[in-house]
């Protein structure tokens, strides 16, 4: 076994080992805990950067270990895996910085950061899983690692949200397991390969393969928050802001959406899935989720719940792109995996800043906040405009390619969904921006319970992460055509998936 084959394992272990050590630390070991967190994040970035260059040049990185006869644990770095694991590694670094500042002085920090690291470990495993068995193992580990983060505060509301989260996600995992075992009876071990591996079965087992597809998508759709499987997500917003950012931008919902991408492109294969007729129903579910999530966001006064329903809507752009038969739609869906993550983590960082610094949790409390926290609010505004799809931000690039993909696929009705959803995005984001910048402050903010910060906007560890990620949302939109951009990488993935 050479060094290249060990690199995917090292990416997983970089956060796992840090988490194991952090669990054993006393609460007072603040510097050591922060150092371990950041060292693990930097090591992961280094390993991922090396593999990115190798994958671009068609170098293979595969770790394989036989667990049981016919069941191999496989970690592999292909172009699709590297897109997700790079997003995970970059945003983990910024979320770690943010969490260190956010949880300063709070209890149970070693427990929090230990599970935080295990969560990122599971996400890296999901990203680089080389077969359905490995994907399922890390997918369920992700559920177990995130539950303690959801209930971290230990309040009755948090515990109820955690119970609901477990009920939904373990139920989804059970559906995924049934579909995986049923599929195993036809094919044996299900490897992820470009173009899929089921086309060789032909239409002999078409009915069974449609039912298996339904089971797999339903199991993955829980974490991807497809309607009507999305009920856990708004409830989970009782978690601390770093957890919300992680759930929405890096880990749980992205794992579900990423799993759907894998199943369609690398288990069934896009051409075979189209022949089976399973893409059209999935596109209808995705469209319904996009519109329903936006409509529900309109009615939410709680800021994090409004952002949660926005996630329900926005993640389904990825699923919608998967259902558009053609490389352009694939580019739009896959690149939104990155674009949505960067914009949404920025919004949750900003929401956390408002709550931590001024005690603001509701949209109705945000009058005039832009004058008290101008950098945070400017960054929130930038990310909100990106979500709406205002050029030249990252969200515009995603929607543009989804629209072109819909025309290429002959699915003109998708254009109507994209236009209506953008209008709804504007309807629930612009009132926040208007309140923050243009309304006078209605009443004093309850700052007396906040640690003294002088007239600084907020702690620098809370401000730097959203400034960086908000800047990234602008940069990758402005320079989308540059080599190595998320768009360029998505085009590489689409070319390989549709290659004959």
pLDDT tens digits for the chain (500 residues)? 555 778 888 888 888 888 888 877 777 777 788 888 888 888 888 999 889 888 888 888 888 888 887 788 999 988 899 999 999 889 888 888 888 888 776 777 788 888 888 888 999 999 999 899 999 999 999 988 888 888 877 788 878 888 888 889 899 999 999 999 999 888 877 888 888 888 777 777 888 999 999 999 999 999 988 988 887 887 776 667 777 777 767 778 889 999 999 999 999 988 889 889 999 999 999 999 999 999 999 999 999 889 989 989 999 999 999 999 888 999 999 999 999 999 999 999 999 899 888 888 899 999 999 988 999 999 999 999 999 999 999 999 999 999 999 999 889 999 999 999 999 999 999 999 999 999 988 767 665 444 444 446 888 888 999 999 999 999 999 998 888 899 998 998 888 777 65
Contact 263, 273 (CB under 8 A): no
CB atoms within 10 A of CB 188: 11
Contact 223, 255 (CB under 8 A): yes
* Confidence (pLDDT) at 180: 92
Interatomic CA distance for residues 374 and 380, integer angstroms: 10
Rounded to the nearest 5 percent, the helix, strand and coil shares of the chain are 75, 5, 20
Interatomic CA distance for residues 196 and 369, integer angstroms: 51
Interatomic CA distance for residues 325 and 480, integer angstroms: 23
Going by C-alpha positions, the residue among 29, 497, 8 that lies closest to residue 263 is 497
Interatomic CA distance for residues 254 and 485, integer angstroms: 19
* Confidence (pLDDT) at 1: 54
Contact 196, 267 (CB under 8 A): yes
Residue 102's contacts (CB-CB under 8 Å, 6 or more residues apart) are: 240, 241, 242, 352, 356, 461, 462
* Confidence (pLDDT) at 447: 54
**Is the N-terminal amide bond of 392 cis, ω within 30° of 0?**
yes
* Confidence (pLDDT) at 476: 92
* Confidence (pLDDT) at 456: 67
CB atoms within 10 A of CB 448: 8
Residue 14's contacts (CB-CB under 8 Å, 6 or more residues apart) are: 40, 43, 44, 47
Helix, strand, or coil here: 60? Answer: coil
* Confidence (pLDDT) at 109: 76
């Amino acid at each position: 076994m050479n060094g290249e084959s060990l690199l995917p394992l090292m990416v997983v272990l970089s956060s796992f080992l840090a988490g194991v050590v952090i669990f054993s630390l006393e609460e007072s070991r603040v510097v050591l805990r922060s150092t371990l967190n950041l060292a693990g994040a930097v090591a992961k970035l280094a390993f991922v950067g090396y593999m990115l260059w190798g994958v671009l040049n068609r170098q293979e990185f595969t770790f394989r270990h036989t667990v049981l006869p016919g069941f191999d644990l496989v970690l592999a770095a292909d172009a699709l895996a590297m897109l997700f694991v790079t997003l995970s590694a970059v945003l983990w670094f910024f979320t770690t910085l943010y969490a260190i500042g956010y949880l300063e002085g709070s209890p149970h920090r070693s427990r929090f950061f230990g599970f935080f690291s295990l969560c990122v470990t599971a996400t890296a495993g999901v990203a680089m899983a080389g077969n359905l068995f490995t994907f399922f193992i890390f997918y369920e580990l992700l559920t177990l690692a995130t539950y303690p983060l959801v209930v971290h505060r230990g309040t009755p509301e948090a515990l109820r949200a955690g119970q609901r989260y477990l009920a939904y996600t373990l139920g989804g995992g059970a559906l995924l397991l049934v579909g995986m075992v049923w599929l195993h009876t036809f094919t044996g071990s299900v490897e992820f390969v470009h173009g899929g591996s089921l086309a060789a079965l032909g239409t002999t087992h078409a009915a069974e393969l449609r039912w298996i597809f339904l089971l797999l998508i339903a199991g993955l759709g829980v974490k991807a928050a497809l309607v009507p499987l999305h009920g856990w997500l708004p409830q989970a917003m009782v978690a601390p802001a770093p957890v919300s950012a992680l759930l929405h931008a890096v880990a749980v919902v992205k794992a579900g959406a990423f799993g759907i991408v894998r199943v369609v492109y690398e288990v069934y294969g896009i051409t075979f899935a189209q022949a089976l007729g399973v893409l059209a129903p999935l596109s209808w579910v995705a469209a319904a989720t996009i519109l329903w999530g936006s409509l529900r966001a309109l009615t939410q006064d709680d800021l994090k719940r409004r952002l949660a329903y926005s996630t329900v809507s926005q993640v389904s752009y990825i699923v919608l792109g998967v259902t558009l038969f053609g490389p352009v739609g694939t580019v739009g869906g896959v690149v939104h995996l990155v674009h949505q993550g960067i914009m949404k983590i920025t919004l949750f960082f900003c929401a956390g800043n408002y709550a931590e610094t001024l005690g603001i949790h509701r949209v109705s409390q945000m009058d005039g906040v832009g004058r008290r926290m101008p950098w945070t609010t400017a960054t929130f505004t930038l990310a909100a405009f990106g979500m709406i799809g205002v050029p030249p931000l990252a969200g515009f690039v995603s929607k543009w390619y989804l629209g072109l993909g819909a025309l290429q696929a002959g699915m003109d009705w998708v254009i109507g969904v994209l236009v209506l959803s953008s209008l709804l995005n504007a309807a629930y984001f612009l009132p926040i921006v208007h309140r923050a910048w243009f309304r006078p402050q209605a009443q004093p903010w309850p700052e007396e319970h906040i640690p003294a910060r002088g007239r600084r906007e907020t702690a620098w560890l809370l401000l730097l992460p959203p400034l960086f990620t908000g800047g990234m949302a602008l940069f990758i939109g402005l320079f989308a055509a540059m080599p190595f951009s998320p768009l360029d990488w998505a085009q590489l993935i689409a070319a390989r998936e549709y290659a004959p």
